[in-house]
Structure 1
Amino acid sequence: MPDWLDVVVRSIIFVVVLFLMTKMLGKRQLAELSFFEYIAGITIGGITSEVVMGLERSILNAIIGIFIFSAVPFFMELISLKSKKVRDFVEGTGTVFIKDGKIMEENLKKEKYSTDELLELLRKKNVFNIAEVQFAILEQSGDLNVLLKKEHRPVTIKDLQIPYQSEKEPQTVIMDGEILDEPLSVAGLNRRWLHEELDKLGVTKENVFLGQVDSNGQLTVDLYDDQIKVPSPQEKPLLLATIKKCQADLELFALATDSKHAKAMYAKNANKLKDMLQKLEPVLHD
């Protein structure tokens, strides 16, 4: 076999072997690798390059070596899942850099971080003033997590006591012009409903690059042709406007009638619609 063909065959073999070993180790990001996984990755890379280009090297011995270096972090991960002591030893623990608004200088020295590096990590979290930080911890991955003081945290809907409705993840019902039945079913919808919604927008499924349904059952689409303008859904704004008009009409009828019974009935139902609007407006407001 010519040398170049031998290199091609060896390369394909090791691509498959490395893929299988990587699948075994899991889906960790590079910054989240444990020490064992980091060491194994470096060594496996060295073994692979030596055997792929060194034609006198044994492929079987290389595969055995790769398997061993892959198996060690795999089994260490299994042991770590069952023992916190082993997990803390192998993966390490988080180090507190700021506590109750105070910098822990000794912990900075322990992790060999300078003040400039701490400030850089804070800036990556959009924090430019240490006085705003309540708590900050350096995780095992090297990422800094920051808890701001209460007065500097973003205001939430709960803080403002505004009525809101919890949302579910949107379902992708059309992809590359093809309808996906499983997400449609998860959303409690069917193809007939989808075709009716597409007709309202004036498009066909073949023209849709991506179509999604939100938790309110509203379809949004992205077309292959970006020059085509898709009208915004009008059902919710129209429904909101209709309810507001009904509530205003009932209040007007209550003022216009001389009958006490009718006046009380109109006012009562107007108040019911007003209460309903307060609950529905966060959902129907476009």
Structure 2
Amino acid sequence: MKVKLFLSVAFFLSIICHVSAQDDLLKELDTIKSKEKQTETLGFKGLQICNMQSTKLTAKGEWYVLISHRFGDLTEGFENFFGLDDAYTKLGAIYGVTNWLSVGASRQTNNKIYELTLKYRLKTQEVDGFPVTIVGYNTMDINTNLSTDQYPNLQFNNRLAYTTQLLVSRQFSDKISLEINPIYIHKNLYDETTERKDQFAVGLGGRYKFTKRLSMNLEYAPRINAPESEVYHNLLSVGLDIDTGGHIFQMVFSNCQTMNDVYAFSNATGKWNGGGIYFGFNLYRVF
């Protein structure tokens, strides 16, 4: 009996020592990890803030399917049934080539525009190191709605327009993230009375997280060298992100109905204080 009791006590003590050793080992691993540079990865939940891109990228090998929709002018009321009669749709796909590089292609009904995109991370925010995340973003539009009936001397080059953007964001806390985005816009074909061949803008965006799955987004993009005209205005949008687990659903209210970057930053036709408010959504599904 004494032998059995002795063996039982010895076995119990060996278990305690084993667990204690494991705890010490885990503590050492945690200490090692804490010395490594940690990065912020969830400054923005969606790939877009509203219309403007965020600094979030797809992971390597991931496919994102994009469905965006913008209804007509809400302020027209029953005239267009609160925008339901005049809607634009955008369909696209984005692929993560690496964890820092993604490519995309989309097509929207407005002017039958095809948009090709390239997004690449240059630097990532670190908890105790580099203060911001920096991402480059380039787009190329192909306007397939233009015809030689309208422009007899039309060439393929006239269909093209571009943007070059530098997205710089910082996650200040678990709830608040902000972004600034210098933007260069180039159009090969443009209206000299209301547009410029080369135009600059500065996008400002932010996100406030209410809960784990719900956040509010805001963006504003003042144009720097826009011609004096009452035709186009600075982009201003507000949205709501809903994370359903399988996809990100973004509800958007904006003064721009078109969804390609060139038009959004230079050809917003609405005014929040004078008509031209468009409701819509962005839906991203990852595979």
Q: TM-score, with normalisation over the residues of structure 1?
A: 0.22
The structure with the largest helix share of the pair is 1
The structure with the largest strand share of the pair is 2
Of structures 1 and 2, the one scoring higher in RCO (CA 8 A, sep 6+) is 2
